């Protein structure tokens, strides 16, 4: 995948940034160390009509302030018929859109290519069978859930892949799958006349869920904003981008730093509970070659960075769960 820079720097500017990264001690324009992230803000439940949603910003002073990289993700569940495009056990489809305001220097064709590249990376990672939730099925052999995960990049001030995977993980963590109840329509047989008819007895329901031989349809037990969390939501991965200059790498590059960096290594890691870490994906972005021994070292160090990011993000997501539960409780108490 070729490197894509939304800004253009002169040779002198690139040399200045590269010299600062390679100097001892390293120097970055914003004063951060090579391994330090800018401030990260996260909020869940930002799209009221979605089954799950989140907003992530990197490099902003607050959610309502300007600047930085900002991504919004939202999930929506749709019923699919297995006789058409549905898949047994359900499926996930990921799509990333980029606001033209986030990439003003790109042509429409270049923007389309960027969106396609990012969507492919995200979809191939999150739709892998090793991460598939077990609760996207509805009726075996008949119906299942199709989970649309849509993301939009509102602004890009660097490190957009990390922000995209963080927002995707947060939205999937926030997703609730409606509980369903299997039903079948049963008509009683009149043995005397040999005909079938609808029983009008008040004690008999045409939608009888107590004596099912084979379910033919389903009904929702929950409202749209209720349900159960996605199975295995702790497994959803995070991405860390290693920006490589010579034998040195650094994290969370700004736009100017990305323009001066010829090679980026995307590492996507999952940390399942009570299981060893899993490398879910890896992608080299840029045209500069890197020797295999260096890649192995980068992967080893990237796992440590990803685990630190994963732990921090997990703590924030659990904090968001508590905040929203408290908010819902307070709203309910005031309405009584």
For residue 95, list its beta bridge partners.
150
What's the DSSP call for residue 185? B
Ranges 80-89, 123-132, 290-299: which has the least confidence: 290-299
Question: What tokens does 220 get?
Answer: 């929702």
What's the domain count of the chain? 1
Mean pLDDT across 79-94: 89
Ranges 97-106, 119-128, 205-214: which has the least confidence: 205-214
Query: For the segment 132-148, what is each residue's pLDDT rounded down to a tens digit?
Result: 999 998 888 889 999 99
Assigned domain for 2 exists: no
Assigned domain for 213 exists: no
Tokens 């509102």 correspond to: 154
Question: What tokens does 176 get?
Answer: 């609730």
Mean pLDDT across 190-205: 47
pLDDT at 62 over 80: no
Give the per-residue pLDDT at 13.
94
Q: Which domain holds residue 245?
A: 11-183+220-335
Assigned domain for 204 exists: no
Give the per-residue pLDDT at 156.
95
What CATH number did the domain enclosing 231 receive?
3.30.230.70
- What confidence tier does 42 reach under pLDDT thresholds 50, 70, 90? very high
> What is the CA 15 to chain-centroid distance, rounded?
35
Give the per-residue pLDDT at 171.
97
- What confidence tier does 197 reach under pLDDT thresholds 50, 70, 90? very low
Nearest Cα neighbor of 74 from 174, 222, 179, 177 is 174
DSSP one-letter string for 211-263: S-SS--EEEESS-TT-SEEPTTGGG--EEEEEEEETTEEESS--HHHHHT-SE
Give the per-residue pLDDT at 155.
95
Q: Indicate the average pLDDT of the chain.
A: 85
Ranges 75-79, 83-87, 139-143, 233-237: which has the least confidence: 83-87
pLDDT at 218 over 80: no
- What confidence tier does 321 reach under pLDDT thresholds 50, 70, 90? confident
User: Do residues 95 and 150 make contact, with C-beta atoms less than 8 angstroms apart?
Assistant: yes
Length of the chain equals: 336
Give the per-residue pLDDT at 187.
57
For residue 270, list its beta bridge partners.
278
Top pLDDT among 331 and 147 is at: 147
Give residues with Cβ within 8 angstroms of 303, minimum separation 6. Answer: 267, 269, 277, 279
Assigned domain for 123 exists: yes
Nearest Cα neighbor of 157 from 210, 118, 101 is 101
pLDDT at 36 over 70: yes
Tokens 């929702």 correspond to: 220
Q: What percent of the chain has pLDDT over 90?
A: 63
């Amino acid at each position: 995948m070729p490197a894509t820079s939304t800004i253009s720097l002169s040779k002198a500017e690139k040399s200045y940034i590269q010299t600062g990264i390679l100097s001892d001690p390293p120097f970055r324009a914003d004063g951060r160390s090579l391994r330090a992230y800018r401030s990260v803000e996260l909020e869940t439940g930002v799209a009221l009509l979605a089954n799950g949603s989140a907003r992530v910003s990197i490099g902003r002073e607050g959610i309502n302030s300007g600047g930085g990289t900002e991504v919004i993700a939202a999930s929506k569940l749709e019923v699919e018929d297995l006789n058409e495009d549905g898949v047994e056990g359900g499926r996930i489809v990921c799509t990333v859109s980029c606001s033209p305001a986030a990439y003003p220097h790109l042509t429409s064709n270049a923007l389309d290519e960027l969106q396609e590249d990012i969507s492919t990376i995200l979809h191939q990672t999150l739709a892998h069978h090793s991460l598939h939730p077990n609760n996207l099925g509805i009726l075996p052999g008949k119906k299942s859930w199709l989970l649309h995960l849509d993301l939009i990049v509102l602004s890009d001030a660097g490190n957009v892949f990390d922000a995209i995977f963080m927002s995707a993980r947060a939205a999937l963590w926030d997703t609730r799958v409606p509980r369903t109840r299997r039903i079948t329509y049963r008509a009683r047989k009149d043995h005397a006349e040999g005909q079938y008819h609808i029983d009008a007895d008040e004690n008999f329901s045409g939608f009888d869920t107590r004596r099912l031989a084979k379910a033919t349809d389903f009904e929702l037990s929950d409202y749209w904003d209720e349900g159960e969390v996605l199975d295995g939501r702790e497994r959803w991965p995070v991405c860390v981008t290693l920006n490589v200059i010579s034998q040195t790498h650094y994290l969370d590059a700004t736009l100017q730093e990305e323009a001066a960096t010829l090679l980026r290594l995307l590492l996507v890691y999952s940390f399942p509970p009570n299981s060893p870490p899993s490398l879910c994906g890896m992608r080299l972005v840029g045209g500069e070659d890197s020797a295999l021994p260096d890649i192995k070292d980068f992967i080893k160090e990237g796992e440590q960075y990803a685990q630190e990011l994963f732990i921090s993000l997990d703590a924030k997501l659990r904090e968001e769960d508590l905040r929203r539960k408290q908010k819902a409780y307070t709203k309910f108490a005031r309405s009584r």
